[in-house]
Chains A and B, each alone.
Chain A
Amino acid sequence: MANPIEVEGLSKSFKVPVRETGVRESVRSLFRRDFRDVRAVEEISFELAPGEIVGFLGPNGAGKTTTIKMLTGLLHPSSGEARVLGYRPWDRERDLLRRIALVMGQRNNLAWDLPAVDSFVLNQAIYGIPEEAFRARQAKYVETLDVGDIVTKPVRNLSLGERMKMEIVGALLHGPEVLFLDEPTIGLDVTMQRRLRNFILEYNADTGATVLLTSHYMADVVALAQRVIVIDHGAILFDGPLSQLADRFSAHKKLTIEASDLPDDLSHWGRVLERTPYKVVLEVARESVSKTAAQMLNQATVTDLSIEEPPLEDVIDRVFTRAGNDDAED
């Protein structure tokens, strides 16, 4: 059986009019507009297996939202193929739209002036959710997210976090098999972010739904995704388990040594990040970290030693700054 999400050679370019400066150019632009091609997404390919949760990482303008829009049928690709549950998303077949859900952070699908429950009833009518299933799911979600008291308050009176909880509930009432989440926790406080993440994990565990999630927050990805796709400038830089991300992109590891008789000059072992009389933190090249550690164990009376991966945020940052240094994009 085919995978729920299959993407092959998907590309999207936009024609953006060139902004004119100066009087002469402005007059000229009245008659002839110059366009330049912006490649938002370039020949990307990937697949999601049933029940997978995959994180889509990338800086602003990387092409994440463009890809999500193509996979939910909001955008037609310039070339390439994609299938969600076997359908081509931009054909916008009703049967497909009934089985997926799109949740975008800081956006609302719910009626602004009315209590969320009223929008839930509307959703039931839109998706044709059988009464039993609707009641059961609504009750369960409301209980899990502990929103029983706010579900009858007008949505406009809710805080951002409360609103996002309502959005998620509304989005999952029809039991979608594929869930697209675009920056779902943006603007929320830490507790709320955690709550939402747990909810998504639970939903995935209960229903085996496939989840494609884009986020700025490493914490979202670490908590939810087993696999990560890194995209920048419209191209996929990495597609694999989170644990291998550092391996692939970071040339260094962090070596922390506690000892009382460390030599003064440690520069040839690696870059000194931190130094106190009894502890030193070094940035050591990946390949030589074991050797360095061994040598230091010989040379000093080591009471504690640890080797760590650099924080994923730093890894990602470096990936993007490295790749993005060519030109400043829109």
Chain B
Amino acid sequence: MTTPKTEFSWLRFYRAGARIGFQRDVQYRTMTFVFLLAFLVEPVIYLAVWQNVAASQGGSVGGYSEAALAAYYITWTLVRVFNLAFDPYAWEWRIRRGRLNDFLSTPIHPFHRDFSFFIGSKFVWTALWFPVAAVLTLIFRPEFNLSLFNIAAFGVAIWGGFAVRFVLLYLMGLANFWTTRASAVFGVVIAGELLLSGRLVPLALMPEWVDSLASWLPFKWTFQFPIEVLIGRLDSDAVWSGLGLQVLWALGMGVALWWGWKKAIVKYAAVGG
């Protein structure tokens, strides 16, 4: 028997996979909206705290006025919508339910299923995000420094942030193949991300050495960088190099993922699901 003709194309697959994610989230839009609210409580808390600090210091802290802080954290919300990625904790559930076996007996790597699914769902989440952002804007009165270039670059940077974080979390998820206590690993990484990505607070408000450290890690490119692109805190050189670094981090960690996955599968297939 000869290999039957296959018309596989990546574009077609990603379109189909994205459609699945999109349709599913449209179906569960109420639930998705509540989840969105749950995720966006976090930046409101940070914003309130730092606006307080700014107010107590005469209206600004670390170069951020109250309005600038509002711009930072409101942009944060959209960046967050985009950098939501496949939960590394979900692997254990997936393995136990046999879902991984289902995926492994098909010719497509689970990464692509998940990645395309998330891409599709981004569109639903973004649509649901608009009203929330509008309300936050009314309450916190942000000040933006928008330019066409910034907006366009932001459009690319949020997807870049998504790609970097998605690969990062997927890579972390591999820990599940070696230990059932992977939560310990994740705890450390998420704590690191909180402090070193601009998630908790703009890196400018951190001690300098932290800011330098953050430049060597992938976290910054998932939160801080896209945010700063939009609120106009970066000159065009920084924007271009940042976009480039996003690509480098995504590809670099992608290679690590490709290699790590091979090892993980050998481990998995030694004992099965």
Q: Does B58 contact A (CB under 8 A)?
A: no
The B1-58 residues at the A interface (CB cut-off 8 A) are 1, 3-9, 12-13, 15-17, 19-20, 23-24, 27-28
Interface centre among A76, A95, A129, A130 (most CB of B within 10 A): A76
A14 vs B270: C-alpha distance in the bound complex, in angstroms?
8
Q: CB within 8 Å of A: which residues of B? A: 1, 3-9, 12-13, 15-17, 19-20, 23-24, 27-28, 98, 101-102, 104-108, 265-266, 269-273
Q: Is the CB of B106 within 8 A of A113?
A: no
In the complex, residue of chain A having the shortest beta-carbon distance to the beta carbon of B25: A113
Q: Which residues of B contact A102 (CB under 8 A)?
A: 105
A114 with B105: CB separation less than 8 A: no
Residues of B within 8 A of A124 (CB): 16
A-B contact pairs, 11 of them (CB 8 A): A69-B272, A74-B101, A90-B269, A97-B106, A98-B6, A100-B105, A119-B20, A125-B17, A127-B107, A128-B12, A129-B6
A74, B3: Cα distance in complex, Å: 22
Expressed in whole angstroms, the Cα–Cα distance for A229 and B5 within the complex equals 33
Give residues 82-141 of A contacting B (CB, 8 Å).
85, 90, 92, 94-95, 97-102, 104, 107-109, 111, 113-114, 118-119, 121-122, 124-131
Contacts A76-B270, A126-B107: A113 and B28 contacting too (C-beta < 8 A)? yes
Whole-angstrom distance between the Cβ of B109 and the nearest chain A Cβ = 9
Q: Nearest chain B CB to A68's CB is how many angstroms away?
A: 10
A118 and B6 contact, Cβ closer than 8 Å, known pairs A90-B269, A125-B13: no
Question: Closest residue to A86 on the B side, CB-wise?
Answer: B1
Q: In the complex, which of the residues A92, A101, A108, A177 contacts B104, with contact meaning CB atoms closer than 8 Å?
A: A92
Verify if A73 is at the interface (C-beta below 8 Å from B).
Answer: yes
Given contacts A74-B273, A100-B105, 20 further A-B contacts (CB under 8 A): A14-B271, A74-B104, A92-B104, A95-B3, A98-B4, A98-B107, A99-B3, A109-B102, A113-B28, A118-B23, A119-B20, A125-B12, A125-B17, A126-B107, A127-B6, A127-B8, A128-B9, A130-B5, A131-B7, A154-B27
Which one of A66, A101, A122, A177 contacts B17 once the chains associate, using CB atoms below 8 Å? A122
Determine the distance from Cα of A319 to Cα of B269 in the docked complex, in whole angstroms.
Answer: 31
The answer on a CB contact under 8 Å between A126 and B98 is no
Residues on B with C-beta less than 8 A from A92 are: 104, 265
Report Cα–Cα, A118/B23, bound state, in Å.
Answer: 9
Q: Is the CB of A76 within 8 A of B28?
A: no
Q: When the two chains form their complex, are residues B7 and A113 in contact, meaning their CB atoms are under 8 A apart?
A: no
**B13:A73 contact, CB within 8 angstroms:** no
Determine how close the nearest CB of chain B comes to the CB of A24; give it in whole angstroms. Answer: 25
Q: Which residues of A contact B16 (CB under 8 A)?
A: 121-122, 124-126
Chain A residue numbers with a CB within 8 Å of B15 are 125
Q: Could you tell me if B7 and A130 are in contact, using CB atoms closer than 8 angstroms? A: yes
A129 to B107, alpha carbons, bound, how many Å? 12
Check B6 against A128 for contact (C-beta < 8 Å): yes
Q: Can you list the 8 inter-chain pairs with the closest CB atoms, starting with the nearest?
A: A128-B8, A125-B16, A97-B107, A128-B6, A125-B13, A102-B105, A94-B107, A76-B269
Quick one: which of A14, A95, A122 has the most chain B CB within 10 A? A122
- Which chain B residue has the least Cβ–Cβ distance from A69? B272
Q: Which of A33-56 contact B (CB under 8 A)?
A: 50
The answer to whether A63 has its CB under 8 Å from any CB of chain B is no
Residues of A bordering B, CB below 8 Å: 14, 50, 66, 69, 72-76, 85, 90, 92, 94-95, 97-102, 104, 107-109, 111, 113-114, 118-119, 121-122, 124-131, 154, 175, 177
B105 cross-chain contacts in A, Cβ below 8 A: 72-74, 97, 100-102
A28 nearest CB across to chain B (Å) = 21
B218 nearest CB across to chain A (Å): 29
Provided the pairs A74-B273, A128-B6 are in contact, do residues A107 and B98 lie with their beta carbons within 8 angstroms?
yes
Q: Nearest Cβ distance between residue A115 and chain B, in whole angstroms?
A: 9
Closest to B5 in A: A130
Known: A113-B24, A118-B23. A74 touches B107 (CB 8 A): no
CA distance A99 to B3 in the complex (A): 8
Cα A14 to Cα B269 in complex, Å, equals 11
A37–B98 CA distance with the chains assembled, in angstroms = 24
- In the assembled complex, the Cα of A127 lies from the Cα of B98 at a distance in Å of 21
Decide: A129 and B270 in contact? CB cutoff 8 A.
no
With a CB–CB cut-off of 8 A, which chain B residues contact A118?
19-20, 23
Q: Does A122 lie within 8 Å of B98, measured CB to CB? A: no
Residues from chain A with Cβ under 8 Å of B266 in the complex: 76
Given the contacts A127-B6, A177-B1, A114 and B23 also touching, CB distance less than 8 Å: yes
Min CB gap B271→A, angstroms: 6
CB-based nearest B residue for A75: B272
Once the chains bind, are A126 and B108 in contact (CB under 8 Å)?
Answer: yes
Query: How far apart sit A73 and B105, CA to CA, in the bound complex (Å)?
Result: 7
Known pairs A73-B105, A125-B13; A99 contacts B4 (CB<8 A): yes
Instruction: Note all chain A residues with C-beta closer than 8 A to B265.
Output: 92
Which residue, A50, A66, A125, A129, has most C-beta atoms of chain B within 10 A?
Answer: A125
CB distance from B258 to the nearest CB of A (A): 14
**Given the complex, which residues of A lie within 8 Å of B28, measured CB to CB?**
113
Bound-complex Cα distance A197 to B62 (A):
72
Residues on B with beta carbons closer than 8 Å to the beta carbon of A95? 3, 107
Closest Cβ of chain A: how far from B266's Cβ, in Å?
7
CA gap between A291 and B13 in the complex, in Å: 69
Please, which residues of chain B bring their CB within 8 A of the CB of A114?
A: 20, 23-24, 27
Query: Which residues on the A side are within 8 Å of B3 (C-beta)?
Result: 95, 98-99
Give min CB distance, B7 to chain A, whole Å: 5
